[in-house]
């Protein structure tokens, strides 16, 4: 459980940086960190539960498309996390398009890698 909470906090920092940097991402909630925290909670739950299974099932398609299908999967997971946070908690992150989600996932990957290595995750 401690590892999941630290992963959630790392994703919250990464999502905060993503929302601050990208104009195509909008935090909903008062204060906005609540929306970012709810979004990153669902991202952490998706990453821990269904993402590995879906990526394994989609491996042949990803190989055929030279990894581009993984971008589509990441976009779908970000949209799912956004939808869950907005529909369950009325706070979250609104993603304004596919390419913003791609850039957001790249920023989240880099920032979460840096923050995770700093805290020793």
Distance of alpha carbon 45 from the chain centroid: 10
- pLDDT of the residue at 2: 87
Structure confidence by residue, pLDDT tens digits, 56-100: 999 999 999 998 999 899 999 999 999 999 999 999 999 999 999
pTM: 0.91
pLDDT above 90 for 121: no
pLDDT of residue 120: 81
10-54 pLDDT, tens digit per residue, is: 999 999 999 999 999 999 999 999 999 999 999 999 999 999 999
Which phi-psi region, left, alpha or beta, contains residue 67 (left: φ > 0; alpha: ψ -120 to 50)?
Answer: left
d(CA 31, CA 58): 38
25: left (phi over 0), alpha (psi -120 to 50) or beta: beta
């Amino acid at each position: 459980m401690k590892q999941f909470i630290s992963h959630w906090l790392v994703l919250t920092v990464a999502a905060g940086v993503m929302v601050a940097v990208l104009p195509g991402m909008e935090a909903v909630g008062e204060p906005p960190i609540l929306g970012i925290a709810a979004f990153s909670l669902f991202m952490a739950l998706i990453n821990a539960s269904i993402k590995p299974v879906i990526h394994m099932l989609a491996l042949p398609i990803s190989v055929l498309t030279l990894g581009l299908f993984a971008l589509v999967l990441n976009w779908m997971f970000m949209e799912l996390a956004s939808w869950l946070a907005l529909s369950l908690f009325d706070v979250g992150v609104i993603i304004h398009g596919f390419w913003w989600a791609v850039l957001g996932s790249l920023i989240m990957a880099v920032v979460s890698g840096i923050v995770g290595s700093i805290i020793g995750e």
